[in-house]
Amino acid sequence: MKPSNMKPSNEAIVAALRQLVAYTKLEDGQSQSFRTRAYDKAIDAINAAPNDVADMSLSELKAIEGVGDSTARKIIEFVERGSISKIDRLKQRFPPTMLELMKIPGLGPKTVVALQDHLGVVDLAGLRRAIANEQLRTLPGLGKKSEEKIAHSIELLGIHSDETRTPIFDAMRIATRVVNDLSRCDAVSQIAYAGSLRRLSETIGDIDILTTTDDPETVLETFTSLAGVTTIMGSGDTKASIVIDDAIQVDLRVVSDAEFGAALLYFTGSKGHNIELRQRALGRGLTLNEYSLSQIDDGAVVAAATEESIYEALGLPWITPELREGIGELTIAEAGLLPKPVVPKMLRGDLHVHTDWSGDGRSTLDEMLQAVTDRGLEYVAITDHGEDLAMNGLSRERVREQQAAIDAARKRYPLLTVFHGAELNIGPDGTVDYDPEFLEVFEFTVASIHSHFDLDPDAQTARLIAAVENPAVNVIGHPSGRKIGARPAIRFDVEAVAEAAADAGTALEINSHLQRLDLSATNLRTVLGIEGLMFAISTDAHHTSELDNITWGTAQARKGGVPIERVVNSLPIREYMAWMAQKRGRSEG
DNA sequence: GCCGTTTTCGGCCCGACTGTTTTCAGTCG
């Protein structure tokens, strides 16, 4: 590869290190050598790094926990040359197609290397031929059954591979359905989803579900015969794996009630977090597995029923699942420096809500105000689209009509403060709908990007900063414009925008929709240090049911490490109004 | 390959399932 002027992104560096892991597995002939585990840990650390790793010096890289001298040098080599010599060397020995073979479920490095050594098979076509010729069963350790299993796995290829991780929005829908369906089984006592879904990862490999029961057989049988099951990957006494809707693998694990906490902790992960917890346990004469935290010497159970009790026994506060990435959160937690997790009941208002006054809203103004009241909120901003969004937006005349409608509605909801707002549309040049005089009609606005997603980074940054500095704008809605799995984020300098926002008294939105989760957790961590920057956790609800998406917005705030003090819609109404007034006061002065 | 309230060498988390073994290896999470 030729060196390029563009420095590689953290994602590109991680991709290179993942290649390194795969080739090293082949070289070591095992899936878990200490070397590959070390690389894996470095990958986790870089994934979590808020800044560009490509800009770092050797000593800065080595200062990252989990990155040592060897990996740091490989990263620098990749940044400077565009490739890593160890990978180049291993490619000579193992053709890249062998990496594809390792993605087939059931085929690990040992078997893939055996295929090359004994049969000269290095790619999928060769593997298919070998299976057709019944050659696989001649390999040491393999038999007829293994050959058939691998043949079946090839048909399922893709379901398990890295490229087909499912966006969290889709995975959550399936998980919710499976949890609901399985809950109807009388033998099920407790049930919860765990894994990367519970950690609020943006994309999900497998869905992990945990149940407690005293009748595992019935639960497992019910699980493998659920509606939508297209393949049963395996089933034992305590766990089973299925593929549902031909779309995603779902793993079920069954334990007893007394073991629920230990099992939930174990299956929530991440793997790195679990390893650090177990190491910590060992240091205290304890051992941790999916059943309990126990004494090593006599096996006496110390804690098992709840996650809280296990963390406590390890000298730690409970750590919110979204932060369990094995990237130093244990150290921060032990020092008492983790922010108190943001939860929905800490929020007093929702600052981004649509009604059927704009074309895409599906609930009436009254339905929304009633639903907001029912959820115990003290204030809400009705933010239907501005006129620039041709399909959905409100003309000036309609804005005036809505103002009257909201005035009338306020009498019906005396306990609720209703702001007549708008979701303005940020044009390619950073200007918004209407004109400055007319914008004074609104008591509050959120401004968002809905088009021109492919401008160059400088233009996008300037565009967002112009909106941030607009005196009529209070919040920037879904700042990156991404839709997970469907549309990439716009390219922009999030730090520059956030600094401008802090200066201007404009908040950045944490959009709660599972397709958005925008700002991303990575972006949040990047801008968290900017003094005075505030966030608004908003639902962007287009229907009353979507007000419950606040669950995900708060989870995203937790994942980004945002403390509640930085969330404007947690403020009591008077303080919140003072925050809004400060913006207008500042712009006039 | 990483790392240091046992440390710069010698350790490194834990268990289920499957198929091939008759006590275990490979794979997976």
Residue-wise pLDDT tens digits, A8-19: 888 889 889 988
CA nearest to nucleotide B14 C1': residue: A289
From residues 222-241 of A, which are strand B contacts by CB within 7 A? 234-239
Spanning CA of A43 to C1' of B1, the rounded length in angstroms is 13
Q: Give residue-wise pLDDT tens across range A474-527.
A: 999 999 999 998 888 999 999 999 999 999 999 999 999 999 999 999 999 999
Backbone φ, ψ for residue A349 (5° rounding): -145, 160
pLDDT at A574: 96
- Statement: residue A65 has pLDDT above 60: yes
Nucleotide nearest to A31 (CA to C1'): B27
Q: Give residue-wise pLDDT tens across range A541-578.
A: 999 999 999 999 999 999 999 999 999 999 999 999 99
- Statement: residue A585 has pLDDT above 70: no
Nucleotide nearest to A66 (CA to C1'): B2
pLDDT at A5: 59
A544 DSSP assignment: G
Write the DSSP string, A462-502.
HHHHHHHH-TT--EEESTT--BTTTBPPPP--HHHHHHHHH
- The letter for the amino acid at A4 is S
Write the DSSP string, A247-278.
TEEEEEEEE-GGGHHHHHHHHH--HHHHHHHH
Spanning CA of A120 to C1' of B15, the rounded length in angstroms is 34
Neighbours of A351 (CB within 10 A): 29
Spanning CA of A420 to C1' of B12, the rounded length in angstroms is 60
From residues 262-291 of A, which are strand B contacts by CB within 7 A? 271, 274-275, 278-279, 281-283, 287-290
From residues 346-405 of A, which are strand B contacts by CB within 7 A? none
Spanning CA of A61 to C1' of B8, the rounded length in angstroms is 20
Q: Side-chain half-sphere of A126: how many Cα atoms within 13 Å?
A: 14
**pLDDT band (50, 70, 90) for residue A3:** very low
CATH 3.30.210.10 corresponds to the domain A261-334: yes
pLDDT at A157: 65
pLDDT at A2: 41
- Statement: residue A301 has pLDDT above 90: yes
CA nearest to nucleotide B6 C1': residue: A283
Q: Which fold has domain A10-156?
A: DNA polymerase; domain 1 (1.10.150)
pLDDT at A1: 44
Q: How far apart are CA A475 and CA A421, in angstroms?
A: 11
Tokens linked to A194: 């765990």
Per the model's pLDDT, the better-predicted residue between A283 and A389 turns out to be A283
Q: Which fold has domain A344-588?
A: TIM Barrel (3.20.20)
Share of chain A above pLDDT 70, in %: 96
Q: Is it true that A166-255 and A344-588 share their CATH fold?
A: no
Question: A232 and A226 in contact (C-beta within 8 Å)?
Answer: no
CA nearest to nucleotide B5 C1': residue: A283
Q: Is the CB of A137 under 7 A from strand B?
A: yes
Q: How far apart are CA A168 and CA A436, in angstroms?
A: 39
CATH number for the domain running over A166-255? 3.30.460.10
Q: Is the CB of A34 under 7 A from strand B?
A: yes
Q: Is the CB of A108 under 7 A from strand B?
A: yes
Spanning CA of A69 to C1' of B7, the rounded length in angstroms is 18
Identify which of A530, A111, A443, A435 has the alpha carbon closest to the alpha carbon of residue A121.
A111
Q: Is the CB of A161 under 7 A from strand B?
A: no
pLDDT at A492: 95
Neighbours of A368 (CB within 10 A): 25
From residues 47-86 of A, which are strand B contacts by CB within 7 A? 62, 65-72, 86
- Let me know the angle formed at the C-alpha of A339 by A333 and A341, rounded to the nearest 5 degrees: 105
Domain map (residue ranges) of chain A? 10-156, 166-255, 261-334, 344-588
CA nearest to nucleotide B17 C1': residue: A236
Q: Is the CB of A111 under 7 A from strand B?
A: yes
Strand order in the sheet with A207-212: A191-193, A207-212, A248-255, A239-244, A229-235
pLDDT at A158: 54
pLDDT at A299: 86
Nucleotides of B under 7 A from a protein CB: 1-3, 6, 11-21, 25-29
pLDDT at A292: 93
| Entry pTM | 0.85
Q: Give residue-wise pLDDT tens across range A309-342.
A: 999 999 999 999 999 988 888 988 998 899 999 9
pLDDT at A584: 67
How many residues does the structure list for chain A? 589
Q: What sign results for the dihedral spanned by CA atoms A518, A521, A523, A528? A: positive
